[in-house]
């Protein structure tokens, strides 16, 4: 592809890398005025509508992963039939380039590469995203052995392997993922899990320590047979400068039985730190997937030291402590006279309320008698402390007499 502009925004320049799935170019974002990397999918993938749809969904999911050890995805789009994604530009080399130019690296560098890669993988795994294609070419490395400054490792190419796996796109002589880094369960066709990425990273670190692969085969069938019947030799066999505990830490990631591998990428990182310090990883007792493993106590833990080092490198600064303000004082509001009277009335015995209703009833009855003009008998409900409510009969020949008897009855109920 010649230099040009994608979607009127990304001006492409030098090619940074190429592969069977895509080509990567250095580019300039004209709007934000920053250098980015643009990955343009190969034509045979861009022509598959199902793949493109799935890939864009995966790219959207990966764009939500913001972590110091993951290459961030900024944008995706299509221009004249060319599907592309825009990513963070990393001014370094891939792990594959590092191996090609320098060969094996020292034990401390290899362990640090693994620890940082584990941090990125663990972050993605906790959010339900599995890489599926961890290999040296998908690790971008700056500083350390490839330049000045602290070593920084970033994982790239999340999503493509998943999209291909779901659409079953295959080529002659190719598989989903690079064969040498496939876990036994992937070779069998089982579903990928976080343990799959742990295995692949174990292969990568074995290669960084020794300059060779733990298993080599000319086909998937041969690879599967070797994984089933052979145990890889410790890296210290090929490189005497590798501490035996670190060799054991890497070999644990290469266990064919997933239950014997590290329970998580975070646990793998702790194992690498322990191995580098000469501690036996068999002292680790996994507390379950997704949890930090239990270690033998004794001074600062390896996990704690790693976090401190990572924090220093990423230069995160704590927010300034907020200014302490005096706590607010609350004053009991004064009760208004009317409110006080209402509260006092609400506190009166229920008996008084019942009596008031009784008086209103009697007055209504008198009014009814007066309207009628003549009454022989009136039936009144009265309240008696001993018997509760009962009926009293009041008789009279005249209205005045009835009224007098009613008054007398009211007077008795007041007592």
CA distances from 237 to 212, 214, 223, 233, 268 (A): 12, 12, 21, 7, 21
Candidates 75, 80, 122, 133; catalytic one: 133
Q: Give the Cα separation of 32 and 38 in Å (integer).
A: 15
Tell me if domain 1-89 and domain 92-286+303-312 are identical in fold: no
For the whole model, what pTM was predicted? 0.66
pLDDT score recorded for residue 159 = 63
372: pLDDT strictly greater than 70: no
Yes or no: say if 243 and 280 are a contact pair by the CB < 8 Å rule.
no
At 171 the three-state DSSP class reads coil
At 13 the three-state DSSP class reads strand
Domain ranges of the chain: 1-89, 92-286+303-312, 349-414
Q: Which position has the token pair 């035996």? A: 244
Among 320, 335, 336, 274, smallest CA distance to 299 is for 274
- What is the CATH T-level fold of the domain 92-286+303-312, as seen in this structure? Transferase(Phosphotransferase); domain 1 (1.10.510)
Task: Name the more confident of 372 and 268.
Answer: 268
| DSSP H or E run through 251 | helix 244-253
CATH class of residue range 1-89:
alpha beta
Which residues, other chains included, contact 372 with Cβ-Cβ below 8 Å and sequence gap of 6+?
A: none
Cα dihedral 84, 90, 92, 94 sign: negative
Which of 58-72, 138-152, 284-298 shows the lowest mean pLDDT across its residues? 284-298
Which of 99-108, 111-120, 391-400 shows the lowest mean pLDDT across its residues? 391-400
Which residues, other chains included, contact 316 with Cβ-Cβ below 8 Å and sequence gap of 6+?
A: none
Q: Give the Cα separation of 124 and 317 in Å (integer).
A: 24
Among 113, 110, 101, 118, smallest CA distance to 210 is for 110
Give yes or no: 133 in active site.
yes
Per residue in 38-85, pLDDT tens?
999 888 888 888 888 877 887 888 899 999 999 999 999 999 989 999
> For the chain, what is the mean pLDDT?
75
Q: Give the Cα separation of 257 and 151 in Å (integer).
A: 32
Yes or no: say if 41 and 84 are a contact pair by the CB < 8 Å rule.
yes
């Amino acid at each position: 592809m010649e230099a040009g502009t994608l979607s009127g925004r990304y001006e492409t320049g030098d090619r940074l890398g190429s592969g069977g799935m895509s080509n990567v170019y250095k580019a300039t974002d004209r709007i934000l005025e920053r250098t980015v990397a643009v990955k343009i999918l190969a034509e045979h993938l861009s022509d598959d509508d199902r793949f493109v749809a799935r890939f864009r969904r995966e790219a959207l999911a990966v764009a939500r992963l913001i972590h110091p050890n993951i290459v961030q995805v900024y944008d995706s789009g299509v221009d004249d039939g060319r599907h592309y994604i825009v990513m963070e530009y990393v001014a370094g080399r891939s792990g594959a380039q590092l191996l090609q130019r320098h060969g094996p690296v020292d034990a401390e560098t290899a362990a640090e590469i693994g620890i940082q890669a584990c941090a990125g993988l663990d972050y993605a795994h906790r959010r339900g995203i599995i890489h599926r294609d961890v290999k040296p070419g998908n690790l971008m490395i700056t500083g350390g052995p490839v330049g000045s400054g602290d070593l920084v490792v970033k994982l790239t190419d999340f999503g493509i392997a998943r999209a291909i796996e779901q659409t079953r796109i295959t080529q002659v002589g190719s598989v989903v993922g690079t064969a040498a880094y496939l876990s036994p369960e992937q070779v069998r066709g089982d579903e990928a899990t976080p343990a799959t990425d742990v295995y692949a990273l174990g292969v990568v670190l074995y290669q960084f320590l020794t300059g060779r692969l733990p298993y080599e085969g000319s086909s998937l069938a041969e690879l599967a047979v070797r994984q089933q019947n052979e145990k890889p030799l410790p890296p210290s066999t090929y490189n005497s400068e590798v501490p035996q505990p670190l060799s054991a830490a890497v070999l644990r990631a290469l266990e064919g039985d997933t239950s014997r591998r590290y329970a998580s990428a975070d646990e793998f990182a702790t194992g690498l730190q322990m191995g580098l310090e000469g501690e036996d990883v068999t002292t680790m007792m996994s507390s379950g997937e997704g949890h930090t493993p239990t270690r033998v106590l004794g001074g600062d833990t390896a996990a704690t030291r790693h976090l401190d080092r990572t924090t220093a490198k990423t230069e995160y600064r704590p927010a300034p402590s907020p200014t302490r303000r005096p706590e607010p004082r609350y004053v009991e509001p004064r009760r208004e006279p009317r409110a006080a009277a209402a509260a006092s009335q609400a506190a009166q015995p229920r008996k008084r309320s019942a009596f008031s209703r009784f008086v209103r009833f009697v007055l209504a009855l008198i009014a009814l008698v007066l309207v009628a003009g003549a009454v022989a008998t009136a039936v009144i409900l009265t309240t008696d402390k001993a018997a509760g409510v009962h009926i009293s009969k009041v008789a009279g020949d005249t209205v005045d007499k009835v009224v007098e008897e009613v008054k007398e009855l009211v007077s008795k109920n007041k007592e």
